[in-house]
Structure 1
Amino acid sequence: MDISGAVAFVTGGSGGLGSRICTLLANEGVRVAIGYHQGKDRAEAVRERIEAAGGTALTIQLNQTDPVSIESAISKVVADLGSLDIVVNNAAIASGGHSIELGDLDAFTPEIWDEMMTVNVKGPYLVARAAAAHLRASKWGRVVNIGSTLGHGDWYQDRIFAPSKAAVIPLTRFLAAALAPDVTVNCVAPGLMVETALGGGGPKPGGDNAAYDVWQERAALKSFTDIDDVASQVVYFCKSRTTTGQSIGVDAGVHFH
């Protein structure tokens, strides 16, 4: 399916994965709204790269825990780019700046729980809800959520973000049922992408990182998750005519699903 000329809104578009998604969509001829919360300079750099390559992009600040901010961002996308066909719910937090030992339930306070669920689960719900009328109006609207491979298996479940990121998978099914038949909703569930903030920015030459070693050994392909594979899967879901309610893990074989 040709998606050139479409309009996409990518939350968290200034980050490692978000910027790749924005770039690949722009390469398909999609006009891209790059959503960001605090990374204005990074978002502007993504916009400049897209425009330098002949694409169309703009940056939009939003707080995805605030329904008013989300409604304003969606309205700006439509006002500036004329429509809205694709939403990619990429923005999320891994720890929220909290340092918690693995599996430490006492340190994982109700306040931290609420923060994780609000950003990682309620946020995508609010964005999809605010965009729904515009996505339906396009007659081929697409929502692609970014979950985590943690939702597909029993490993790494002691991370504090595990419940919230895993919950994106059933949220995807709910939204797919609610928005059918005019809008498809799918989820990409990555493993450890070392180029992202969650992955620590990538292995350093000669560095010793036990977490990287454990992940790589666990993976059937003895590899980390290729960030471009994840971004390409997002684009595939945008182009697919008859795929909805699905979640696909891209994790080098950490979990078979």
Structure 2
Amino acid sequence: MQIDLTGKRALVTGASRGLGRAIALSLARAGADVVITYEKSYDKAHAVASEIQALGRRCEAVQADSASAEAIQEAVTHAARTLGGLDILVNNAGIARGGPLEALTIADIDAMINVNIRGVVLTTQEALVHMSDGGRIINIGSCLANRVAMPGIAVYAMTKSALNSFTRGLARDLGPRGITVNLVHPGPTNSDMNPEDGEQAEAQRQMIAIGHYGQPEDIAAAVTFLASPAAGQISGTGLDVDGGLNA
């Protein structure tokens, strides 16, 4: 199926690398203009913007710490001004801190809550001011939101689990505007955060039904579909893209 997003205006948070980069590029290849945010990776973010511009699409990289309410609001407003509005929001920015609960610092816990939960809520809140009716909101969760299959990730899993109820509730709220809200749950996916040749990779691979890690493009394909007109009747749901890990 050929997905056509020509004329659509998208904001993808945390898109300097990994899943975010793949998502931004996929949306652009389908025809969307894209603004991406990044926290620290200036060179990588602007390289992504250049790749998208080379496709003939508009793109700008905006620095924004997703833990900062002010930075979020400014970035979303800038994106909407640059693109002339928003049709698609992908809440991809996220962080992880692992280890036994008693070893996590308050700073670790606050960081995950601020980026993975509050950042998503505030980004969406600001984006809705600029989003057209019939828009698309896609949150990036984790397979760990529904099954905590390994130790040391309780707080991270909690922050991703919160997106389940946020997505369902917002789908109810925004249905009258024709805006769909969905959640993609990646499984082990080859990225800087969880490389397929990392220390924990083999243990995770053993839990994946199809036996191998996903790639960022697998997540991007799911997001691009949910952003498309073909997914107009899908809202308030979570899509596992985890190779059957949670089957």
Q: Runs of 5+ in structure 2 lacking a partner?
A: none
Letter in 2 for 1:172: T
Matched, 1:163 2:165: no
Partner of 1:151: 145
1:219 to 189, 208, 230: 208
Asked if 2 retains the 8 angstrom alpha-carbon contact of 1:78 and 1:84, the reply is: yes
CA displacement, residues 83-115 of structure 1 (integer Å, 9 cap, x when unaligned): 1111100001112xxxx53xx221123332222
Partner SS state of residue 167, structure 1: helix
Partner SS state of residue 125, structure 1: helix
Partner of 2:188: 192
Q: What displacement does 1:210 show? A: 5.0
Partner of 2:20: 18
Asked if 1 retains the 8 angstrom alpha-carbon contact of 2:148 and 2:157, the reply is: no
Partner SS state of residue 181, structure 1: helix
Q: What displacement does 1:198 show? A: 1.3
Structure 1 residue ranges, 4+ long, deviating more than 6 angstroms after superposition? none
Within 5 Å, which residues of 2 pair with 1:73-222?
73-95=75-97, 101=99, 104-135=100-131, 138-156=132-150, 158-159=152-153, 160-182=155-177, 183-194=179-190, 196-200=191-195, 202-203=196-197, 209=198, 211-222=200-211
Q: What displacement does 1:238 show? A: 0.5
Matched, 1:59 2:61: yes
How much is the aligned-residue C-alpha RMSD, in angstroms?
1.6
Pick which of 232-241 and 156-165 moved more. Answer: 156-165
Of all paired residues, the percent bearing the same amino acid is 33
Q: What displacement does 1:147 show? A: 0.2
Q: Runs of 5+ in structure 1 lacking a partner?
A: 204-208
Partner SS state of residue 225, structure 1: coil
TM-score by length of 1: 0.88
2:242 to 225, 248, 251: 251
Q: What displacement does 1:157 show? A: 5.3
Q: Distance in 1 between matches of 2:44 and 2:199?
A: 29
TM-score by length of 2: 0.92
